[in-house]
A and B are shown apart, each in its own frame.
Chain A
Amino acid sequence: MSVRSGTRPEPAWRARLRALLRDTTLAGRPLEWYLSGWRLALILLVVMVIFPWLVGSTFVADAIAVGIYITLAVGLNIVVGYAGLLDLGYVAFFAIGSYAEATGTFGALQLNSVTGEVIHTPVLPFWPLLVIGALVAGIFGIVLGAPTLRLRGDYLAIVTLGFGEIVPILFNYFPFWFGNTGMSALPPADINLGGLTITFSDPLNRIPFYYVVLAVVALVILGSFSLRDSSLGRAWVAIREDETAAASSGVNLVRTKLLAFGLGATMGGLGGVLNGAYIGAISPNDFPFFVSITVLMMIVLGGIGSIWGVTLGAIILRFIDVDLLGRISQFVQANPVVNNPVSPLHFLSTVDFNQAKYLIYGIMLLLMILFRPQGIIPDVRRRRELKGIGAAVESTSAIGVLEREEAGAELAAVDTLDQTTYAGPGSDDIGRSGD
């Protein structure tokens, strides 16, 4: 049998990095002082503010896309990471936000009653829509959540998936939203500040819009941190750990879960509004299941429950998407081994690695779940929970917590042990949630 000891020794590279951060000083303070808490956030913010002036406009567009995905990932993280509810239809809220933006800035389809001509009238500018789109998505989150949140975790996952599929179908079905052809979504109108015009509509200069996205991302991350540390955040942890115990200690399960769902949906809607303004035209086909899974992938990759983790996950996936795969394709095609028509690898010259994107995502997702369920940057709180795993025992409650948890915390009383089904590592027993 295998025995896992309490703590695994720290890998050498990490110990060395830690020592480096401790021993190097800057203005009298060790580097690690700068890299903790709000100081890190501040440094990142400053870097991101000067980012466009460092890299130029091509990367700015990519950065906007990354920012939109960060908004989604941080929002879904509230649902999956904080409250432990698996939402497989998160794309629905993204779609609702996008369509809200388009409906407001471009206008829904109308027919001129005299000529029968197609017309559309803008209703609202971008700025109020940023709030309205998010709220509408949030309301849909609550409407969907109210009847479904009492379902078991895997059923909830499928119901949300169904919702994620239905929403684009409805946008397609109603002529109001121009059906399958989709509609335009306009960027914010120009702002005139006494002679200085800030223009958002120039596709060659995305820098002004970049700052809009940056502000939203900063707010979302800040909000996510304060939610985590609020009493609501503690209630989420409580229901994730043990729903029954949480309920008996006074946590209102329905309200707490609904708030997670609603807040997550709100952030999804916010991302959607930004998305509409960014890509300029949307159609129902832009919101397939893949989007939900991609966002989920960012969370699992980065670290479920960890804000910096999911942010990093969004950056990595978006980087793979817009940049890395293209580079790989170019590199492979330019490689003499592949270029040479007689080479056995010549078939690779026609392969576009961008097409393998979802395959790569799938493989990454599987490997993460199997070998590193806590992600690249594990949630600090959960890492603490994970320490000292003896006999790995399936969690009795924590839906959405992907790691095996230690038994002791929840079952300190030996009393319950004899009545509960357990198996040590490697035994044949099937783990089940005892709900």
Chain B
Amino acid sequence: MLELEGVNTYYGPTHALTDVSLTVNRGEIVALLGANAAGKTTTMKTIFGLVRPRSGTITFDGKRIDGHPTSDIVASGLALVPEARRIFSRMSVMENLQMGAYIRQPGPELDADLERVFTLFPRLKERTAQVGGTLSGGEQQMLAMGRALMTKPRLLCMDEPSMGLSPILVQTVFDIIQEIRAQGVTVFLVEQNAFMALNIADRGYVLQQGKIVLTDTGKNLLTNDLVRRAYLGG
């Protein structure tokens, strides 16, 4: 569904991603693991055209998307829950969700999706009029996810969805991710919390200093020595 092939991304002279190749298949949950500054967020930004790769190709459903404007990439069915949520802090919860639906036409289908988001995140329904910036961290994370779902993505990308959340909330978020997949949305997530991510992921990739160093099924990675030592504290 999503395919990165030999992607190289630079910040000035700094080589941030080196020959990154990875695949996300329809219906999967795929996790991208790595330490701080390994290039995880850069990978996401490169997929979404917020940073342009210097070489390599990115295809989504067989169509090249590298070099396309971000708005086109989003319109083709990819959505990103960005790192640190990046909700519109001076807009209400409802307006944030309406921004999620920016590329879509109003109609019964949209209303149904809004209901679906409210079912997934009942807290949002209680707070539709509240200004985004005044929500708690967990609520903001839910809003960011709900907002991304409103674009009706076929592939939902998430950058560090557990960052800054309490363990209970982290559990909730990962439950919801599985629920989202059950509803037919493919999920690609970047995580530092390797244990949680690998528990729900079908497959995973490990990124070190901008290079993919390891890939396997989620289960195997959980027991992999390198992963255990580096990311699971064991």
Write the residues of chain A forming the contact surface with B, with a CB cutoff of 8 angstroms.
1, 3, 388-391, 393, 406-409, 411-415, 417-419, 421-429
B41 at the interface (CB under 8 A from A): yes
Return the contact of B37 from the options A406, A409, A417, A427 (Cβ within 8 A). Answer: A417
| 28 chain-A/chain-B pairs, Cβ below 8 angstroms | A390-B11, A390-B12, A391-B10, A391-B11, A391-B51, A391-B52, A406-B13, A407-B12, A408-B14, A409-B12, A411-B12, A414-B209, A414-B210, A415-B36, A417-B11, A417-B42, A418-B41, A419-B41, A422-B11, A422-B50, A423-B50, A424-B52, A425-B52, A426-B52, A427-B49, A427-B51, A427-B70, A428-B71
Find the residue from A421, A422, A424 having the highest chain B CB count within 10 A. Answer: A424
Given A1-B67, A407-B12, A409-B12: 15 more A-B contacts, CB < 8 Å: A1-B53, A1-B66, A390-B13, A391-B10, A407-B14, A411-B11, A411-B12, A411-B14, A414-B16, A414-B209, A415-B37, A423-B52, A424-B51, A427-B49, A428-B70
Q: Chain B 9-33 against A: per-residue CB contact (8 Å), 1 yes, 0 no?
A: 0111110100000000000000000
Is there contact, CB below 8 Å, between A418 and B42?
yes
Least Cβ distance of B190 to chain A in Å?
A: 10
Write out the residue numbers on chain A whose beta carbons fall within 8 Å of the beta carbon of B228.
none
Return the contact of B14 from the options A3, A414, A424, A425 (Cβ within 8 A). Answer: A414
Is there contact, CB below 8 Å, between B51 and A422?
yes
Write out the residue numbers on chain A whose beta carbons fall within 8 Å of the beta carbon of B16.
414, 417
Least Cβ distance of B85 to chain A in Å?
A: 14
Find the residue from A390, A393, A415, A421 having the highest chain B CB count within 10 A. Answer: A390
Write out the residue numbers on chain A whose beta carbons fall within 8 Å of the beta carbon of B69.
427-428
Is there contact, CB below 8 Å, between B14 and A417?
yes
Write out the residue numbers on chain B whose beta carbons fall within 8 Å of the beta carbon of A390.
10-13, 54
Is there contact, CB below 8 Å, between B52 and A389?
no
B39 at the interface (CB under 8 A from A): yes
Is there contact, CB below 8 Å, between A427 and B52?
yes
Separation of A377 and B53 alpha carbons in the complex (Å): 33
Separation of A412 and B69 alpha carbons in the complex (Å): 28
Find the residue from B53, B54, B66 having the highest chain A CB count within 10 A. Answer: B54
Is there contact, CB below 8 Å, between B37 and A389?
no
Write out the residue numbers on chain B whose beta carbons fall within 8 Å of the beta carbon of A389.
12
Write out the residue numbers on chain B whose beta carbons fall within 8 Å of the beta carbon of A409.
12
Separation of A389 and B69 alpha carbons in the complex (Å): 22
Is there contact, CB below 8 Å, between A408 and B49?
no
B45 at the interface (CB under 8 A from A): yes
Write out the residue numbers on chain A whose beta carbons fall within 8 Å of the beta carbon of B70.
427-428
Least Cβ distance of B111 to chain A in Å?
A: 30
Write out the residue numbers on chain B whose beta carbons fall within 8 Å of the beta carbon of A424.
51-52
Write out the residue numbers on chain A whose beta carbons fall within 8 Å of the beta carbon of B13.
388, 390, 406-408
- With A1-B67, A391-B52, A428-B71 given, is the CB distance from A422 to B45 under 8 Å? yes
Separation of A415 and B209 alpha carbons in the complex (Å): 10
Separation of A411 and B113 alpha carbons in the complex (Å): 42
B40 at the interface (CB under 8 A from A): yes
Write out the residue numbers on chain A whose beta carbons fall within 8 Å of the beta carbon of B66.
1
Separation of A427 and B53 alpha carbons in the complex (Å): 11
Least Cβ distance of A300 to chain B in Å?
A: 25
A413, closest chain B residue (CB): B37
Least Cβ distance of A396 to chain B in Å?
A: 12
Return the contact of A406 from the options B12, B41, B45, B49 (Cβ within 8 A). Answer: B12
A410, closest chain B residue (CB): B12
Write out the residue numbers on chain B whose beta carbons fall within 8 Å of the beta carbon of A413.
37
Is there contact, CB below 8 Å, between B52 and A1?
yes
Separation of A425 and B14 alpha carbons in the complex (Å): 15
Write out the residue numbers on chain B whose beta carbons fall within 8 Å of the beta carbon of A407.
11-14
Write out the residue numbers on chain B whose beta carbons fall within 8 Å of the beta carbon of A419.
41
Separation of A408 and B10 alpha carbons in the complex (Å): 10
Separation of A419 and B82 alpha carbons in the complex (Å): 11
Cβ < 8 Å to A, chain B residues 158-197:
none
Separation of A381 and B69 alpha carbons in the complex (Å): 36
Write out the residue numbers on chain B whose beta carbons fall within 8 Å of the beta carbon of A393.
11-12
Q: Chain B 65-91 against A: per-residue CB contact (8 Å), 1 yes, 0 no?
A: 011011100000000000100000000
B209, closest chain A residue (CB): A414
A405, closest chain B residue (CB): B12
Separation of A427 and B70 alpha carbons in the complex (Å): 8
Is there contact, CB below 8 Å, between A418 and B40?
yes
B41, closest chain A residue (CB): A418
Write out the residue numbers on chain A whose beta carbons fall within 8 Å of the beta carbon of B51.
391, 422-424, 427
Write out the residue numbers on chain A whose beta carbons fall within 8 Å of the beta carbon of B12.
388-391, 393, 406-409, 411
Separation of A390 and B16 alpha carbons in the complex (Å): 12
Least Cβ distance of B162 to chain A in Å?
A: 16
B70, closest chain A residue (CB): A428
Write out the residue numbers on chain B whose beta carbons fall within 8 Å of the beta carbon of A408.
11-14
Separation of A406 and B49 alpha carbons in the complex (Å): 20
Write out the residue numbers on chain A whose beta carbons fall within 8 Å of the beta carbon of B49.
427-428
Separation of A190 and B100 alpha carbons in the complex (Å): 79
Closest A-B pairs by Cβ, 8 of them:
A407-B12, A424-B52, A408-B12, A408-B13, A418-B41, A406-B12, A415-B37, A1-B52
Least Cβ distance of A1 to chain B in Å?
A: 5
Separation of A234 and B49 alpha carbons in the complex (Å): 38
Separation of A427 and B71 alpha carbons in the complex (Å): 11
B49, closest chain A residue (CB): A427
Separation of A389 and B13 alpha carbons in the complex (Å): 8
Separation of A408 and B36 alpha carbons in the complex (Å): 19
Separation of A413 and B209 alpha carbons in the complex (Å): 12
Is there contact, CB below 8 Å, between B50 and A429?
yes
